[in-house]
Structure formats: C-alpha cells, structure tokens
A and B are shown apart, each in its own frame.
Chain A
C-alpha cells in the first residue's frame, strides 16, 4: 500500500499524529518517560478508529506503558502503532498486548539509529560548522546550525509517520491472513526482553567506589563484582524494584526510596 493509496481520513489523522509527536518529551519523567507524550500523540488515532468508550479507554491505557526512544524518529513507531490500532478497531483480531510488544521491540533499535544519526551525526556536523562561524563573530552561526540540523530532522519526522503507517498496514495485511501475528508478537517480546536486559546494563548508572580491606590489602568492591558479574548492581536494583512492584509497592515509594538511597549512598561513600 503506497501512501498515495491512503484514504483522506487516514492522512488527516496521521498529520495530527505528526504535529502531536513534536511534543513527545513535554511530559518526560522518571516513571513512564515518554509514555504520556506517546499516548498524547495517539489520541487522534484512537478517537478516529474506535467508536465505543471502553475501547478508547483500553487503547489510551495501553499507550501509557513506559516508552523511550529518540524523539526525532518516534513518529515512525507511532505510524506502525496507528496501523495496528486501526486493524484492531476494524477486525478486533489484534492481540492488544502485541501493540505494546512491537512498540517496546522497536524503541531500542530506533533509538540506536536515531541517536547515532541525530545526536551523533547531524548535530555534531551542524555544531562543528556553526562554531567555526561563531568564532569569526558571524551572526549567521545559530541560523546555519538550526537549518543544517532541522532539514533532515523534519524530513525524517514527517515521512516517518506515513512510512511507519503504510509499512504496518502492509505487514498486517499479509501477516494476519496466515495467523502469523501471534508468532511475530512472541518474537517481538523475545527481542524486547533482550533489549530491556541490555538496557539494564547500559542505562542504569550504578557502581560503587567502596573499598574492602582484607588484612591490609585494599580491594575495590566494584572490581570484584566486575570479575564475577559485570552489571550485577544495576541488575540487582532492577530485580529488587520488580519484586517490590509485584508485592504491590507503589512506584512513587520506589522513586523516593531510590532518591534517598542516592543521597545517603553518596554521603557514606558507597556510591
């Protein structure tokens, strides 16, 4: 399905998603990260395709799950999610859990691509050129910087929305008939869990400068941990939080607890 074959109402909804996607990080926070921004962007889709209050509420709740990716490439994922929501609204044969599974499966790789392109490439090139101009005192510097960065940014953002949607629709059309969807969402869960496992190591910043004294010989605790199980501390903390959540502990209690632990830990020299 090419984007030209999209119906007028679909195009209109996707344009709204594109505009709303700009505000993805307006409500960024430590509990859900970009979840509310994602849900905010999906509101036009949900209102367009679902007719009953219950279905709308279920869809809104679904998109309040933690989400985090490079903002500039997020509309691509929104487009895919929109196509799945439409399919679900029309046929009802989409496993709603698979929509989140695909979102989570995609946010890692899209962040990988997005970070390296937008943070690592476009921004650095644009800043490099602009800083040179600024050092010569040219008032063009900020303008050149913004243009060099934002031309690729808005091309990717705008076409990403539509491309994600048609890709999602096309995949779903082929995939649904053959009952492949359960398999794909199972696969997405596998990939998603692996990405969360990897992010546990790379995105939680938890190490200790604590030194153990073995009868005069000083050994860094972190060094011992790294030899046995690198990333043991982030893993332990995540599993601890997971257990607490399962016990029904409130998320805010966890957040405040970690905050106090951070300040005390730094004070006592174990962080």
Chain B
C-alpha cells in the first residue's frame, strides 16, 4: 500500500515536467532512480534508468505528435522489475506495452482538454482571465492526478494483473488511436488557415506545401525561403513608397 502510494507520487512528479517548462524530469534516467529510491534499491533504479533512457532516447514529443508515454511506462516497468527482483530486461519488456497503453490514455485526456477550449475562449471573450487560469490548472491536474492514480492502482493490482490487462485490450483499438493521433493536427491547421488565409494569400499556403512535399524541405528551410520571397515581393518588386514615409524629410535624412 505504502509502495503503491509512493509510486503513484513518483509518476505524478514525472508529469510535473509540464509545470516546469520541460526540465526533463519525465525522462527514464530521472524517474527510474526515483522509483529505486522509494522502493529502497537506488542502485538497481539507476541501472534500469540507464537502460530505458537508451531505448527511449528517440521517443520524444516534438511538435504535435504524442509518442508512447515513457513516463508511466518507465515508472511502472521499473517498479515491477524491482518488486519482483528482476533486472532491466524485465523493466523494458513491461515498459513498452505500458507506454503504449498510457499513450492512449494521454490522447484521451488531450481530447478532453480540447473539449474545454470553447469554454476557455468564451472566458477570454468575457475578459475573464481567472476563468481561463482555472481551465489551465484543471487541465494540468487532470493529467497529473489521473496518471498518479493509474500508477497507484497498477501497483495495487500487481504485475501479473497489469500484464494481462494490457494484453486484453484489442491491439486494433490501440493502433487506431495511434493513427488518429497522427491525423488530428489537421484540425489545428484548418483553424489556422481559417484565421490567416485570404484569396490573395492562399497561394503561399500552396507554395509551402509544395516545397515540403515535392522538395521535402524541412520547416526551417521553408521558413527562410518564405522570408526571402516575402522580402523580394515587398521590397524588390513592390518597391513603392510606404505610406507615411515622406511625411517629413527628417525621417529620410535620419535613414541615411
């Protein structure tokens, strides 16, 4: 019981990475030693942490993607391995399916948060910044507390029960959630387009798309080309007098 509480707490701490702007306390190399510490075997925790970090080094949340959730995966994997007296291999074998399962939960929570956004926008339109702050913190608490509770319950249920539970979920549902997560950013981009696009400007969206699809340029390159093209259009081709520039001669002198 005590162990379950402490592991739940460690798992919640992992999600507090979002509270500190991404200081990396959600990485296996930090969490596994913490699990070891609360279970009284720091040494094993550190060694498992090194192993999991190597495996999960490429698993990071960049951009809009939601990768397998390494936090709950490594915390529970490490905990079960230490509690059953086994080594890093078992930790890893457990961490991978748990990470995929908790990824699905995390996607669900991100969807619940998305459903709170119309409320946040309504608060914004009312000038109610306190209300917006409440939604901000409730969103954070939702993820952190849920994941803490999930880790707590998992340890109570035990390693075997956990494993069979993970296996009982149809892989097609998990896989389906994963592919849906890849599609969901389309809604965000559509919202951006609705905000920015006009008949005259639509061609620049097409240009960015073509550069990335046919020429496979990275975002950075597209951005720099965008800047160059914008400067060419505005200052080289459209070199007119900007409104208000020659209101006073002083400014022209000043520019020289």
Interface assignment of A187: CB less than 8 Å from any CB of chain B: yes
Interface assignment of A1: CB less than 8 Å from any CB of chain B: no
Knowing A259-B180, A271-B179, the reply to whether A251 touches B129 (Cβ < 8 A) is no
* Interface residue ranges of A216-265 to B (CB < 8 Å): 229-231, 234-235, 237-242, 244-246, 251-252, 254-256, 258-259, 261-265
Among A153, A178, A197, A264, find the residue whose CB has the most chain B CB atoms closer than 10 A: A197
Inter-chain CA distance A239–B209, complex, in Å, is 12
When the two chains form their complex, are residues B186 and A258 in contact, meaning their CB atoms are under 8 A apart? yes
**A-chain residues with CB within 8 Å of residue B125 when the two chains form the complex:** 57, 60-61
Knowing A31-B188, A139-B46, A146-B25, the reply to whether A193 touches B133 (Cβ < 8 A) is no
Determine, out of B48-56, B68-76, B160-168, the stretch whose residues face the partner at the interface.
Answer: B48-56
Among B132, B175, B192, B195, find the residue whose CB has the most chain A CB atoms closer than 10 A: B192
A256 CB to nearest B CB, Å: 8
When the two chains form their complex, are residues A142 and B30 in contact, meaning their CB atoms are under 8 A apart? yes
* Interface residue ranges of B85-132 to A (CB < 8 Å): 110-111, 113-118, 120-121, 123-127, 129, 132
Inter-chain CA distance A22–B132, complex, in Å, is 16
For chain A, give the interface size range.
35 or more
Inter-chain CA distance A145–B50, complex, in Å, is 11
**A-chain residues with CB within 8 Å of residue B175 when the two chains form the complex:** 266
11 new A-B contacts, CB < 8 A, other than A30-B188, A198-B223, are: A23-B140, A27-B113, A31-B114, A142-B46, A178-B245, A194-B211, A230-B216, A246-B194, A251-B187, A263-B173, A271-B179
Q: Which 9 A-B pairs have the closest CB atoms?
A: A262-B180, A197-B208, A205-B182, A134-B50, A263-B176, A194-B208, A57-B127, A241-B190, A29-B113
Interface residues of A (CB under 8 A from B): 21-33, 35-37, 39-40, 43, 46-47, 53-54, 56-57, 60-61, 63-66, 68, 71-72, 100-101, 104, 108-109, 111-113, 115-116, 118-119, 123-124, 126-127, 130-135, 137-139, 141-142, 145-146, 149-150, 153, 157, 177-180, 182-183, 186-206, 229-231, 234-235, 237-242, 244-246, 251-252, 254-256, 258-259, 261-267, 271
